[in-house]
């Protein structure tokens, strides 16, 4: 995608080649695995986390607003799919349900059933508005005070998700609380056979891969847009940015809204992929998990964030449970490592951070700040041209 930009400048950069090769390889590899492969499942999760991490990167990496409550947007996205694509509102329309472009199977069920593309739109709108609401009280705050207010919002939303079963709004519960909203409809795209995660994970994989490609494109275009430059200016120096005529309120709220929208998108996808929306996952630890991805990858660097998200997600869902825990048995030792997986995850985070404090693939601008005087000014113009 950065390649697309350099393409505009009339030459093919090595980045473009790498991006095309990686994307192609990523697109065809599930064909060589069984349809219900566990590794493809891990990949789907990793890609969904990439979307979330790219969203959080806009808020924290570009605009420099530390957000510790990102899980709220996950919740909004997931509940959008839970509310509008299951039999949760089972009494609407005289128990016949409301169906908008829903697949053939859900069309016969009670409740509200929207097509997944509509769900995505609703999730984006809902999460973006939530982003603005969360952003408003932080406008006067600085630095880590922003962090605690966003954290507070995340916790409040998480609590509402858990306690939602006790809230009654005109005959309907707000959520099902710890009892999941389930089953949620499978994704159904116009013109393509309905997805079915019981038979093949491939459609889900390709869908989220396409979503990642789209989100990457949006991210690169945003970063180089007037708005993106305004975000970076605010991150570098808020007072200077304001005196250069950047409208702080609008720019910051846009950052929260855009970041939230991407989180909502990924949340809706995960809700549909898991076929259920369960309140237990919307906890502070999840926000920290996503934040660790973007800091580990390289704050503000889009490819860095992708690498960070993929690597942390794989460490968590593939490397530790599937590879690492089998080491003792391979060596012939009778020793259970599963009990230690949490600590090993922590240890790996510490290790990676100490070895690469600026992230795995730091943003070029930031790298230059850190090694002042080493980089030449010329490369700045090249990147920003």
Partner 1 sequence: MAFLLALPVYYGIQDLRDDGNLARLANNLFSGVSNGSIWALIAIGYTLVYGIIELINFAHGDNFMIGSFVSFSLYGTLGLTLATGTLGLVGGLLVCLLVAMAVCGTLNVMIERVGYRPLRNAPKLAPLITAVGFSFILQNVGIVWLGGSQRSVPDLINAQHVIVTPLGVAITNADVLAIAVTAPLVVLVTAFISRSRIGKAMRATAQDPEAARLMGINVDTTISFTFLLGGMLAGAAGLVYALYQTSIWYFQGFTAGLIAFTAAVMGGIGNIRGAVLGGLIIGCIQQISDNRIGAEWTPVVVFAYLIVIMVFRPRGLLGEETREAG
**Residues in touch with partner 1 (CB under 8 A):** 60, 66, 137-138, 140-145, 147-149, 151-153, 155-156, 159-160, 162-163, 166, 284-285, 288, 291-292, 295-296, 299, 339-340, 342-350, 353-354, 357-359, 366, 370
State which residue, 214 or 342, has the beta carbon closest to partner 1: 342
Least distance CB 63 / partner 1 (angstroms): 14
State which residue, 128 or 151, has the beta carbon closest to partner 1: 151
User: Are 38 and 231 a contacting pair, CB within 8 Å?
Assistant: no
Least distance CB 350 / partner 1 (angstroms): 4
Least distance CB 146 / partner 1 (angstroms): 9
DSSP state for residue 187 in the 8-state scheme = P
Least distance CB 132 / partner 1 (angstroms): 15
Least distance CB 142 / partner 1 (angstroms): 5
CA distance 86 to 173: 14
- Among 187, 183, 198, 188, CA closest to 36: 198
User: Are 32 and 202 a contacting pair, CB within 8 Å?
Assistant: no
Least distance CB 316 / partner 1 (angstroms): 11
Least distance CB 67 / partner 1 (angstroms): 11
Burial (0-12, 13-18, 19+ Cβ within 10 Å), 25: exposed
Give helix 248-274 / helix 116-135 axis angle, nearest 10°: 140
Which two structure tokens, joined as six digits, stand for 172?
A: 């309907």
CA distance 97 to 105: 13
Helix (H, G, I), strand (E, B) or coil at 85: strand
DSSP structure string for 254-292: HHHHHHHHHHHHHHHHHHHHHT-B-GGG-SHHHHHHHHH
Backbone angles phi, psi at 168, to 5 degrees: -115, 120
User: Are 128 and 259 a contacting pair, CB within 8 Å?
Assistant: no
Beta bridge partners of 169: 172
State which residue, 202 or 366, has the beta carbon closest to partner 1: 366
State which residue, 140 or 330, has the beta carbon closest to partner 1: 140
Beta bridge partners of 99: 113
User: Are 122 and 41 a contacting pair, CB within 8 Å?
Assistant: no
CB atoms within 10 A of CB 92: 15
Least distance CB 244 / partner 1 (angstroms): 20
Least distance CB 121 / partner 1 (angstroms): 29
State which residue, 118 or 141, has the beta carbon closest to partner 1: 141
State which residue, 25 or 374, has the beta carbon closest to partner 1: 374
State which residue, 338 or 376, has the beta carbon closest to partner 1: 338
Helix (H, G, I), strand (E, B) or coil at 169: strand
State which residue, 106 or 300, has the beta carbon closest to partner 1: 300
Least distance CB 356 / partner 1 (angstroms): 9
**Helix locations, the chain, DSSP H:** 2-8, 14-28, 38-56, 71-84, 116-135, 144-163, 202-223, 226-236, 238-243, 248-274, 284-297, 302-314, 327-330, 341-355, 364-370, 377-384
State which residue, 19 or 147, has the beta carbon closest to partner 1: 147
State which residue, 137 or 247, has the beta carbon closest to partner 1: 137
């Amino acid at each position: 995608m950065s390649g697309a930009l350099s393409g505009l400048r009339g030459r093919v950069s090595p980045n473009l080649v790498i991006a095309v090769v990686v994307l192609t390889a990523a697109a065809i590899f599930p064909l060589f695995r069984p349809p219900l492969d566990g590794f493809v499942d891990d990949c789907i999760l990793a890609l969904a986390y990439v979307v979330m991490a790219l969203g959080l990167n806009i808020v924290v990496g570009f605009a420099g607003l530390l957000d510790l409550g990102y899980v709220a947007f996950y919740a909004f996205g997931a509940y959008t799919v839970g509310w509008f694509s299951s039999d949760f509102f089972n009494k609407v329309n005289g128990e016949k349900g409301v169906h908008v472009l829903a697949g053939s199977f859900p069309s016969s069920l009670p409740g509200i059933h929207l097509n997944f593309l509509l769900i995505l739109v609703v999730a984006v709108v809902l999460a973006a508005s939530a982003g603005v609401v969360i952003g408003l009280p932080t406008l006067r705050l600085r630095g880590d005070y922003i962090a605690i207010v966003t954290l507070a919002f995340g916790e409040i939303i998480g609590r509402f998700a858990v306690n939602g079963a006790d809230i009654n709004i005109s005959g309907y519960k707000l959520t099902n609380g710890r009892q999941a909203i389930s089953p949620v409809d499978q994704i159904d795209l116009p013109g393509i056979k309905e997805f079915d995660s019981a038979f093949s994970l491939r459609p889900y994989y390709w869908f989220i891969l396409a979503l990642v490609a789209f989100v990457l494109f949006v991210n690169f275009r945003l970063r180089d847009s007037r708005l993106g430059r305004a975000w970076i200016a605010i991150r570098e120096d808020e007072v200077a940015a304001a005196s250069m005529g950047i409208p702080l309120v609008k720019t910051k709220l846009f950052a929260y809204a855009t970041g939230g929208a991407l989180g909502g998108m990924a949340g809706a996808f995960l809700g549909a992929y898991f076929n259920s929306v369960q309140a237990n996952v919307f906890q502070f630890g999840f926000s920290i998990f996503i934040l660790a991805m973007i800091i580990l990858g390289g704050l503000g660097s889009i490819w860095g964030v992708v690498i960070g998200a993929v690597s942390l997600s794989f460490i968590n869902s593939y490397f530790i449970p599937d590879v690492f825990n089998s080491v003792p048995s391979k060596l012939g030792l009778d020793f259970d490592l599963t009990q230690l997986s949490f600590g090993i995850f922590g240890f790996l985070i510490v290790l990676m951070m100490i070895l690469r404090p600026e992230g795995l693939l730091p943003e070029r601008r930031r790298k230059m700040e850190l090694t002042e005087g080493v980089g030449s000014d010329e490369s700045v113009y090249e990147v920003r041209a």
